[in-house]
């Protein structure tokens, strides 16, 4: 494993952990606003909760809340770093 691949994998893992933390924070924010959250199937229902969180925060303040962007950026960063690491490792 080259140093660049190791950096990409480490970045992907950190971004993934950050994404999971934002996922839990979004579910808590949705539950705090009175909507039901199914904690058993959170992995399956997180797209629904992210959409609900975005709609709720836009309704409250006119813009999407910071947790929405935290989730979006961290998960996309994890995806991009993982794909880049796989491509570099294969070549």
Name residues whose C-beta falls within 8 Å of residue 75's C-beta, 6 or more positions apart in sequence. Answer: 15, 16, 19
Give the CA angle between residues 58, 25, 11 to the nearest 5°. Answer: 105
Under the banding of pLDDT at 50, 70 and 90, the label for residue 47 is very high
Confidence tier at 88 by pLDDT (50, 70, 90): very high
CA distances to 51, 60, 82 from 25, in Å: 14, 18, 24
Q: What CA–CA distance (Å, rounded) separates 6 from 88? A: 11
Interacting residues of 52 by C-beta distance below 8 A, sequence separation 6+: 30, 35
Mean pLDDT, residues 72-79? 97
For residue 68, the Cα-to-chain-centroid distance in whole angstroms is 8
* Whole-number pLDDT of residue 83: 97
pLDDT value for 51: 96
Can you give the pTM of this predicted structure?
Answer: 0.89
In the chain, the percentage of residues whose pLDDT exceeds 90 is: 95
Tens digit of pLDDT for each residue in 55-67? 999 999 999 999 9
């Amino acid at each position: 494993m080259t140093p660049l691949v190791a950096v990409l994998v480490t970045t992907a893992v950190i971004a993934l952990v950050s994404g999971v933390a934002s996922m839990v924070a979004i579910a808590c924010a949705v539950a705090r606003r009175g909507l039901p959250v199914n904690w058993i199937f959170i992995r399956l229902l997180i797209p629904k909760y992210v959409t609900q969180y975005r709609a709720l925060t836009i309704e409250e303040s006119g813009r999407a809340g910071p947790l929405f962007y935290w989730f979006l950026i961290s998960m996309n960063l994890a995806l991009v770093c993982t794909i880049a690491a796989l491509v570099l490792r294969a070549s």
